[in-house]
Chains A and B, each alone.
Chain A
Amino acid sequence: MNDDKQHYPDISRSRWAGILIGIGIMAAVDEIVFHQLLAWHHFYDQSTLEIGLLTDGLLHAAELIAIVAGFFLLADLRRRHSLVPLWAWAGFFLGMGGFQLFDGIVDHKVLRLHQIRYGVNLLPYDLAWNLAAVVLLLIGIWLAFRARAATKPIAADR
């Protein structure tokens, strides 16, 4: 496939591996902590729009594949000695933050799949949710800048 590229750092794939794992982990945290442990979220609530059910299914499928694809991509990069850890970490935080923000804005507010918690004033919960997302994204951006500075000589010939 890319025989000639092996043993060279693969920035793009390293970043993608991180992004996919970040999305998958955040989705798993959402599912396990908020749905199962705290039982704050509902499996389905009456305010969910019909189109919301469909996008929920598509998103769910993407999350499931993302986490497996991310880990196998990571294993493949390590095997080829092409992994750039800093780029993978940057991608990981960007993936987590990006998913969290998408979940907080599009899923909760636009599509109204479900709310964070029921029977309470939602504003502080929504703020905390989306602020956490912004913090994760900022960490990811900071790591990306560091990674770019560290891999500049390699990035030049790509």
Chain B
Amino acid sequence: METMEHHTGAGGGTLAVAIPYLLIAAALAAYLFAVARQRNSLRPWSRWRTISFIVGVSLLAVAMSPSLVRYAHHDLRGHMIQHLLIGMLAPLGLVLAAPLTLMLRTLPVQSARVVTSVLRSWAFQWLSHPVTALLLNIGGMYLLYLTPLYALTLTNPYMHHLVHLHFLAAGYLFTWSIAGPDPAPGRPAMRTRLVVLFISIAAHAYLSKFMYAYSWPRNTPHDMEQIREAAQLMYYGGDFAELLLVIILFASWYRDSSRHAYSLNPQVQRSR
């Protein structure tokens, strides 16, 4: 295989490695600090949520590890593993950790009100609608792999980092809009979310088979064999992550429908 030009040399590499790790460490520290402040509250913070957050940030840390970054740099298979970790698996852990709920519990009332008013705002509800999140998430993938954008990320370090950030943000938004435990005023009904998730799985499977069949992304240093293996990784890895998301969605449906079935007094239910 041909060697290719590396966009950042060995010198620029140190900072590029340090910044993501600093951000990950800051997020983890903030979460654990908030959990520690919940220790004396009447309802202690669930240990599972904390574990979930640690798993989420650990997956991010693996995705940004120097050896995987180096592998992803010249190999589409490495890029795809990074993509699966950042955009699909890590968001599952982070969303299940309910960081927003923790934040609302920890913040002083005044600031918490600001947060909830943002959540209720027209703009946020539009942005966090499952359909918008789907377009940002899967639409972004179509744009990346079927246009010259991917080739651009190989030479432009800013584009490269921007794409990673987009993977994380869009992946988080989508996972949250489908099955997030955090409060979401105005979230559409189960049926809508299920339809959106169905489209998402189909679109992901279609894109990866399309890339396999017609060797996308084109005009890159990757040979056909590598693209095909990367596309299969995308297909099966995406399947695994989407299967987990389907299970999480139905688990929340199962939990909520028990609340309906076993409420003894319908009046209590209505005034909930």
Total contacting residues, chain B, CB less than 8 A: 32
Q: Which of A60, A64, A76 contacts B254 (CB 8 A)?
A: A76
Binds A, one of B6-14, B105-113, B169-177, B256-264: B256-264
Describe A's contact surface by its main secondary structure: helix
Contact (Cβ within 8 A) A44 B261: no
Contact (Cβ within 8 A) B206 A57: yes
Contacts of B209 in A (CB 8 A): 43-44, 53, 56-57
Contact (Cβ within 8 A) B206 A56: yes
Q: Which of B235, B250, B258 contacts A69 (CB 8 A)?
A: B250
Contact (Cβ within 8 A) B254 A56: no
Contacts of B239 in A (CB 8 A): 60, 64
Describe B's contact surface by its main secondary structure: helix
Total contacting residues, chain A, CB less than 8 A: 23
- Count chain A CB atoms within 10 A of each CB in B200, B254, B266 and give the residue with the most: B254
Contact (Cβ within 8 A) B213 A65: no
Distance, CA A49 to CA B134, complexed state (A): 26
Contact (Cβ within 8 A) A72 B202: no
Give B23-70 interface residues, CB cut-off 8 Å to A: none
Contact (Cβ within 8 A) A68 B246: yes
B156 to chain A minimum Cβ distance, whole angstroms, is: 31
Contacts of A72 in B (CB 8 A): 250-251, 253-254
B residues sitting closer than 8 Å to A (CB atoms) are 194, 197-206, 209-210, 212-213, 232, 235, 239, 242-243, 246-247, 250-251, 253-254, 257-258, 260-261, 263, 266
